[in-house]
């Protein structure tokens, strides 16, 4: 009886599937997700921002209404020496008066606009797009408007504000910082800091080259501001310096306390506590507020701020305007589309320079 031998793969297929199986085998052409014109990803209307848009300096500063453009200050005591005692039955001493001065400034206008074409706005409602594109832009630009004001508030002392809101770094400056900056860049509100030490000076710890931050520097910052008559309500710095302070405290087996702080926008404050406040580190029971925009030398500068005398004075709070085809006024913007605009009118005001302080040139 002849034996059956499987000499090829075809012999094996014939034995198991029958000889006709090979006659119906074919080459497949499957439809895959990579097949041209078959698959298209739907991205959805949500657009995830890849930027850090925090605006902590803008949020933490007290806001007050712009009820005047100037303020008066006392720049020297009425009595600079220790006198006042009189002899028995002696004549009354001469009367005295302190030295007065006037300071004034004007509000700055901050504007950020955006626009969307009529075609994009329509297609967003029928195709895969941002959906209501104007609404998406409103949400995003509101955050960026606040962030840009945060950047202004944390600008370098060596950059004159011009049309921008003044910076904390320029407010917290002094004559001993003049050597570190361009001539006259420390001047603010028309006050001259280049001529010599004066009542316009905040406390500034500066050095010709960067040096390591120490707790003694932070303690001296508080001490000097206290001696000058201020009482810092908070410390402000960058994330890197905040971490450095924590490391210094841990090295001495001390604990960084947590403090609950309240944010403020246009005069409205959050509730204190877990409901709406946020938890931050503290030093000497003063909260440490951080921002990515804080000016760095090697690491970020450190500010001690008495916010009783430092505020964002608001002439007109943030407002939103919109015009265009959907508003029935394409002629106003002169194209077929929709345009939006955020506008804030304000300025950073300091009533008492010596109540503020900073440490710079850190590594």
Q: Is the pTM of this model over 0.85?
A: no
**342 with 306: CB under 8 angstroms?**
no
| Cα radius of gyration (the chain) | 33
Distance of CA 50 to the CA centre of its chain: 16
pLDDT for the residue numbered 216:
96
Task: Give 10-residue mean pLDDT values along the chain (363 residues).
Answer: 67 71 68 82 77 90 94 91 85 90 97 94 86 90 95 96 97 95 94 94 96 96 98 96 92 57 55 54 92 96 97 95 91 92 96 97 96
**51 with 150: CB under 8 angstroms?**
no
Domain ranges of the chain: 56-77+96-359
pLDDT for the residue numbered 308:
96
Q: How far is CA 339 from CA 45, 185, 331, in A?
A: 20, 37, 12
Alpha-carbon gap, residue 61 to 299, rounded angstroms:
23
Nearest residue to 94 (alpha-carbon basis) of 76, 113, 81, 107: 81
pLDDT for the residue numbered 276:
45
pLDDT for the residue numbered 274:
46
Nearest residue to 307 (alpha-carbon basis) of 256, 235, 228, 204: 235
């Amino acid at each position: 009886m002849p034996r059956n031998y499987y000499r090829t793969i075809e012999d094996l297929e014939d034995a198991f599937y029958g000889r006709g199986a090979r006659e119906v085998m074919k080459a497949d052409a499957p439809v895959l997700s990579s097949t041209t014109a078959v698959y298209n990803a739907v991205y959805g209307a949500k657009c995830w921002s890849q930027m850090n848009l925090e605006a902590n300096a803008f949020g933490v500063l007290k806001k007050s209404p712009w009820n005047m453009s100037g303020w008066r200050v006392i720049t020297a005591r009425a009595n600079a020496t220790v006198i006042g005692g009189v002899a028995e039955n002696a004549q009354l001493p001469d009367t005295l008066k302190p030295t007065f001065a006037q300071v004034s400034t004007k509000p700055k206008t901050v504007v950020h606009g955006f626009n969307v074409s009529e075609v994009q706005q329509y297609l967003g409602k029928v195709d895969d797009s941002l959906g209501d594109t104007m609404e998406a832009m409103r949400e995003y630009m509101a955050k960026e408007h606040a962030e840009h004001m945060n950047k202004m508030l944390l600008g370098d002392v060596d950059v004159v504000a011009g049309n921008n809101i003044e910076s904390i770094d320029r407010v917290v400056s002094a004559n001993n910082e003049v050597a570190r900056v361009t001539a006259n860049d420390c001047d603010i509100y028309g006050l001259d800091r280049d001529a010599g030490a004066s009542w316009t000076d905040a406390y500034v710890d500066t050095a010709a080259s960067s040096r390591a931050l120490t707790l003694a520097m932070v303690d001296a910052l508080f001490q000097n501001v206290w001696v000058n008559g201020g009482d810092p309500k908070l410390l402000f710095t960058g994330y890197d310096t905040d971490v450095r302070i924590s490391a210094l405290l841990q090295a001495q087996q001390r604990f960084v306390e947590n403090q609950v702080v309240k944010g403020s926008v246009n005069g409205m404050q959050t509730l204190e506590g877990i409901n709406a406040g946020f938890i931050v580190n503290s030093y000497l029971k003063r909260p440490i507020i951080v921002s990515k925009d804080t000016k760095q030398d090697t690491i970020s500068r450190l500010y001690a701020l008495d916010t009783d005398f430092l505020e964002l004075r608001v002439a007109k709070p943030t407002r939103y305007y919109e015009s265009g085809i959907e508003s029935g006024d394409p002629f106003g913007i002169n194209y077929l589309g929709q345009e939006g605009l955020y506008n804030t009118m304000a300025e950073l005001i300091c009533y008492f320079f010596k109540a503020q302080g900073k440490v710079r040139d850190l590594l």
